Amino acid sequence: MLAGFAELVALPCIALWAAFGSAIGQWIKSDQAWRAFNITMGLLTAACVVLILR
C-alpha cells in the first residue's frame, strides 16, 4: 500500500520535473543564458544548504 501511494506521488512529480526541464531547454538558447541559469541554480542550492545546516 505504501509503495502504491509513493508511486501516485512520484510519477506526477517526475513528469512535472521533466516538463520543466524541457521547457527550460527550449527557452534558453545562448551559452551566456545557460551560464546565468546554472549560476543562479547553484546559488539557490548553496543557500538551501546554508539554511539546512543553520
Domains of the chain, residue spans: 2-53
Nearest to 24 by CA among 8, 4, 38, 14: 38
* C-alpha neighbours within 13 Å on the C-beta side of residue 14: 6
pLDDT at 49: 98
The pLDDT value recorded for residue 4 is 86
How far is 47 from 53, CA to CA, in rounded Å?
A: 10
Phi, psi of 28 (to 5 degrees): -95, 120
pTM of the model: 0.66
pLDDT digits (tens, 9 = 90+) for 3-45: 888 889 999 999 999 999 999 989 999 999 999 999 999 999 9
- Whether residue 1 has pLDDT greater than 90: no
Among 37, 11, 10, CA closest to 24: 37
Residue type, 29: K
Count other C-beta atoms under 10 Å from residue 28's C-beta. 15
